[in-house]
Amino acid sequence: MSNPQNLQRHNPKSTLGRVLITGAGGQLGTEWRSELDRRNLPFEAFGSAELDITDSDQVEELISRVRPDVIINAAAYTKVDLAEQERDKAFSVNADAVGNLAASARSIGALLVHYSTDYVFSGAAQDRAKWPGGYPEEAETHPVNTYGASKLEGEVRLRESGADWLCLRVSWLCGAHGKNFIKTVRRVASANGEMRVVNDQYGSPTFTPDLVRKSLALITSGRRGMVHISSRGETNWHEFACEIVRLSGIRATIHPIPTREYPTPAPRPAFSRMDCSRMEGFGLPAVPWKEGLAEVIRELDSHE
């Protein structure tokens, strides 16, 4: 499946208007709340306990009552391995719920901002040869696991909804909030003094502070359609872990291993770097991944 663009530009707004955030308790939702608070911008945020986005009636009632101008869907099912067992749940949250939000957004004329993933791509060797700088937005999608398939179906529901939408694909998402690779590496490396990390899966991380800032810029400049947001440069999980340990001042050995020595229920794409030329063409330069990581490490250290 390809050509998911519908790329257009609407009249930019000087302000966001009324903002509603779903998935408010997750790492991305928390980052959104923090950034809007910092900018002194009003919003209403709902975690899964307050809003079940898989319940179409509940979604319709809430959105009809709040009547937001912008809906930020920061909710997602992200348990990549468990999704192989919980396929229905993954599709319910990552696809059906997107349809619910989009239908309600359309009914009141709101913009729906949704986040997807690099895991919609296969990571096949021929793809890397074709797109050495990363997958562009129009590249053919072919997920290799249930999580990726559920997120791709969410993109389809969004495009076909008739709603005003902006879909941002991100990769290796992590930040100072919630559960993510940075926190796992810091915890395990500190406790054990060593860990094994695969060195043959290539991509580039997206950091939540940078992601939210760029999301805001795209929204307020009237951008619509599909946009990739990630960091500049390519790395692998082992190199990423080594830099996390170095910047954190942790004395630990990170052993490189091939994927075959770390089997997981869900296969991962060997190459999922995304081309961010479109984002940069909108005046939003990609942050080098080591700089983005350093920002997150500083925030984590400030909280300890």
Q: Count of residues for the chain?
A: 304
Which sign, positive or negative, has the C-alpha torsion 136, 122, 54, 28? negative
Straight-line distance from the first to the last Cα atom of the chain, in angstroms, rounded to the nearest whole number: 45
- How far, rounded to the nearest angstrom, does the alpha carbon of residue 88 sit from its chain's CA centroid? 21
Cα 18 to Cα 212: distance, rounded to the nearest angstrom: 17
Cα 293 to Cα 295: distance, rounded to the nearest angstrom: 5
Among 77, 135, 147, 202, which one carries the catalytic annotation? 147
For residue 126, count other CB atoms closer than 10 A to its CB: 8
Active site residue 119: no
For residue 226, count other CB atoms closer than 10 A to its CB: 23
Q: Which residue has the tokens 């890397």?
A: 128
Q: Which of 214, 228, 234 has its CA nearest to residue 277? A: 228
Task: Tokens for 5, please give them.
Answer: 């663009």
Quickly list H helices, 43-93. 56-66, 87-91
Cα 97 to Cα 88: distance, rounded to the nearest angstrom: 12
Strand, coil or helix: 73: strand
Element (H, E) at 251: none
Cα 124 to Cα 228: distance, rounded to the nearest angstrom: 19
Beta carbons of 204 and 254 less than 8 angstroms apart: no
| Residue numbers annotated as active site | 147
